[in-house]
Amino acid sequence: MALFGRGLQRVISSMSLRALLYRRPTEPQAVQVVFDKAIYLVRVRRHRQARRYTLRIHAATREVVLTMPPRGSLKEAHEFAQQHGGWIAARLGRLPEAAPFASGGKVPLRGLPHRIVHRRGTRGTVWTETDAYGERLLCVAGEAPHIDRRVADFLKKEAHRTLEAASQRYAEKLGVTIKRVSVRDQSSRWGSCSTTGVLSYSWRLILAPTFVLEYLAAHEVAHLVEMNHSTRFWRLVDKLCPNVERAKVWLDVHGTDLHRYGLPTKSALPPTERRDRRAGTGY
């Protein structure tokens, strides 16, 4: 018991020493990069497993993040970011223009464009209409400052309702049971399936055409039978959904564009582009 206690104490002491070595209490959280008369803010973070300086651009939030090794120097990090100022500017310039949920703006609902219309004096929250000219409208009641939140809440509810119905339908075909369906702003992936039967989807799938949403539901439900991407898995997905290739092509071409709508949450983990010191190439 005494030996175990001394061993544990050495482990704790070692951990405390590493924490003291790597901690930078007064270190700034961001550095500025100047390129072509523009200033870009780059968030700096240390990571205990990092072996080199790495730049990432989060497509949805447009945030530039520099990851550095535990013992890295802030000066070197700043120099690395500044050296790649052109890369930062070019990648940010290629991102789709942000489209907030605001009156007059347009948002796709199940792949069909809807114009957001503010109906301040009307009862209700959010609903769809078609005007006299055939234009699809997404009507929002209440005060103007609440438009963004109300539209986002409406889309998330629609996504959950539609994805849950599609998932249950495919689960019945396969004879499997779903424990729960949830929707989040998980921009690093469109869907996931746990071994316990929990399915999770990106709510932004409600912005895509219905055949894309159906494909993702079939994909995740198929994982309840085959927790892999084997030939048997894809054969199962093809059996459930006739538009697999069409949906995959659509996501490859238009998927990133879905992240520009609304105000993304800080917890989102969007697709990234990367440049690192060792390789010197973007990913």
* Consecutive 10-residue averages of pLDDT for the chain (283 residues): 50 47 67 90 91 86 88 91 92 84 95 96 92 96 94 97 98 96 87 95 97 97 95 95 95 90 50 44 29
* In a shared domain, residues 153 and 243: yes
Domain range for residue 37? 20-97
Rounded Cα distance, 84 and 36, in Å: 12
Query: Domain total for the chain?
Result: 2
pLDDT of residue 6: 54
* In a shared domain, residues 93 and 115: no
Which of 52, 77, 97 lies at the terminal end of a domain, its last residue?
97
Is 155 contained in some domain?
Answer: yes
Strand partners, 191: 201
pLDDT of residue 3: 47
* In a shared domain, residues 133 and 44: no
* In a shared domain, residues 176 and 241: yes
Please indicate, yes or no, whether the overall pTM of this predicted structure exceeds 0.85.
Answer: no
* In a shared domain, residues 140 and 249: yes
pLDDT of residue 10: 52
**Residues near 81 by beta carbon (within 8 Å), at least 6 away in sequence:** 31, 33, 42, 55, 64, 66, 88
* In a shared domain, residues 115 and 168: yes
Paired sense of beta strands 54-58 and 38-46, if any = unpaired
- Give me the phi and psi of 117, to 5 degrees please: -120, 130
Rounded Cα distance, 210 and 90, in Å: 33
Rounded Cα distance, 66 and 42, in Å: 7
